Amino acid sequence: MRLAVVDAKRCKPKLCGLECLKYCPKVRTGAEAVVVNDVATISEELCVGCGICVKKCPFKAISIVNLPEKLEGNEVHRYGKNGFVLYNLPIPKKGNVVGLLGANGTGKTTAVKILSGHLKPNLGKEDAEWDEVFERFSGTELLDYLKALSEGKIRTAVKPQYIEHIPKVYRGKTIDLLERSDELGNIDEYITKLGLENSVKKDISELSGGELQRVAIAACLSKNADFYFLDEITSYLDIHQRIAAANLIRSVAEKKPVLIVEHDIAILDLLADLIHISYGEPGVYGIITNPKSVRVGINQYLKGYIAEENVQIREKSIEFDLFQPRESECEKVLAEYPSFRKTYSDSDFILEAAGGSVKIGEVLGIVGENATGKSTFVKVLAGVESDDDRRVNLELKVSYKPQYVKADSSARVHDFLVSINPAVESSYYKTEFIKPLGIDRIMDKKLTELSGGELQRVAIVACLLREADLYLLDEPSAHLDVEQRTETARMIRRFALNMEKSVLVVDHDIYLIDMISDRLLVFEGEPGKRGFASKPMSMREGMNRFLSKLGITFRRDEDTKRPRINKPGSRLDREQRAKGEYYYV
């Protein structure tokens, strides 16, 4: 079974003169080259899979893939001729949280749109009647659900993936938005559980990313729906807020089924009852597996092999190091800084930081609640702001990737990166930076055309391309899937070691912090009022301190060695708490 997909956004037949079809052997033997709506159209029936069109396309708009014959006729939805194809759907289950885990661009959001009633499945045709859809899902658990959905008997509530768009479609006070969504009379309880007491007094346009995320979760769960769908609940939330959101979702799932799409495996492991894996070729096709237990599903995804279907979904497995930290590799000191205090009179916020050092060639992980002074700390080290007593004077040149990434230019990705460092076109940077994060596939796109995940990857590379002494990346995991987060971690570690650079990474994904960090800085305090930055510690000391405040314990999975959060009150949880070992035994 052959699948031909043409990216309509990239295909420009008027500029290239249909180079793809000129050299096609089927065209030379009489087949017609067709252009529909300014996009080249490839006949999957005539295609012999020679790959000439893929190589000839100057815009890299064409993908030709061979799929197992058993998938033929199992299409759930296709976005037009030569468009993305989705196979199979996840199954919502009453009384359960069902997780959907997979690479970006493999159909997770499309599946949510179909199950929430915002997109009618077309079974890969131009259009399909509901009777055809029912026949396709006859004998499956989804049949009754889809029938009820088609008849308007199911009401769904959806939390979108990109919450940054909310201020563009709604203007006004946050409390007004939440009260309009409140159909169950629970909004006051949700505001308290999600820590939104101060946020509700603000205008929507004034909210931070973390506040917007929690508002979106509260608004979704406060609706009187039969099924709840939440697309990426953890972006911009610190670990405390992630666990609070997970606990709230779990309480709702006791009465109503919930489906979540999530890339934070630690939270997914804690929250979900069952897991579906989505895999395929991003932007070309996606396949959703049958449901699996949480541990089995996550481990299969990390290993890259779906045993039941005998399918290899990734060339190499995602592996976790057995022992942290690697401090012996980081001995030379870039800079030492004294203890200091920074006060903001306009907001009454105070940051107190213990003295410490930053070593050459190390990655220093930074963890802590939002609004406890992490960004302030870095600005003081960089000399962008001065501490109260002007004690810190390191004169370091800092390259900074902010938490919230925006496209401020309509330039092409290629031109933007070259303007930062022309060496980006060298084989070293292509091998170490561009290809691992898939930037080579979006080089011709404009920055304003990029998705949230694409823009994040470009911002990470741009930060590391600048010449600096110290590199700071604030939440690089936002909008990245598990594979992209892993590649980002590997890339940053290699960059620090090979280039002998010092890197500070602020993130709330504990998996990423565990994979990337040599030492740890822990921020504590009262968000928005007072923060305290510890001195840099070993991973064990730092994580023990951090996890004890959080009230959770970690263990290693026996198969993949990945971090797992112990179930509260379990035997391992009780044993580790008794020993004071919250990180790993």
Q: What is the 3-state secondary structure (H, E, C) of 207-259?
A: CCHHHHHHHHHHHHHCCCCCEEEEECCCCCCCHHHHHHHHHHHHHHHCCCCEE
Q: What is the mean pLDDT of residues 36-40?
A: 78
Q: What is the mean pLDDT of residues 216-244?
A: 92
User: What is the pLDDT, as a whole number, of residue 108?
Assistant: 93
Q: What is the mean pLDDT of residues 388-397?
A: 88
10-14, 176-180, 415-419, 462-466: lowest mean pLDDT where? 10-14
Q: What is the mean pLDDT of residues 110-117?
A: 94
Q: Residue 328 pLDDT > 70, yes or no?
A: no
Q: Residue 88 pLDDT > 80, yes or no?
A: yes
Q: Residue 71 pLDDT > 60, yes or no?
A: yes
User: What is the pLDDT, as a whole number, of residue 175?
Assistant: 94
CA distances for 325 relative to 71, 176, 505, 537, 541, angstroms? 45, 48, 15, 10, 10
Q: What is the mean pLDDT of the chain?
A: 89
Q: Residue 452 pLDDT > 70, yes or no?
A: yes
Q: Does CATH place domain 327-537 in 2.60.120.10?
A: no
Q: What is the mean pLDDT of residues 204-215?
A: 89
Q: Residue 123 pLDDT > 70, yes or no?
A: yes
Beta carbons of 130 and 150 less than 8 angstroms apart: yes
Residues above pLDDT 90, as percent of the chain: 55
User: What is the pLDDT, as a whole number, of residue 29?
Assistant: 56
Q: Does CATH place domain 2-66 in 3.30.70.20?
A: yes
User: What is the pLDDT, as a whole number, of residue 33?
Assistant: 59
State the span(s) of the chain assigned CATH 3.30.70.20. 2-66
The helix (H) or strand (E) run that includes residue 485 is helix 482-498
CATH superfamily of 75-305: P-loop containing nucleotide triphosphate hydrolases (3.40.50.300)
Give me the long-range contacts of 184-188 (CB less than 8 A, separation at least 24).
184/222, 184/223, 184/224, 186/221, 186/222, 187/218, 187/222
Predicted confidence (pLDDT) per residue in 44-54, tens digit: 888 888 888 88
State the span(s) of the chain assigned CATH 3.40.50.300. 75-305, 327-537
Q: What 3-state class would DSSP assign to 583?
A: coil
User: What is the pLDDT, as a whole number, of residue 193?
Assistant: 95
Predicted confidence (pLDDT) per residue in 339-382, tens digit: 999 999 877 899 999 999 999 999 999 999 888 998 889 888 88
Q: Quick one: pLDDT band at residue 325, thresholds 50, 70, 90?
A: very low
User: What is the pLDDT, as a whole number, of residue 17?
Assistant: 76
Predicted confidence (pLDDT) per residue in 125-145, tens digit: 888 999 999 999 999 999 999
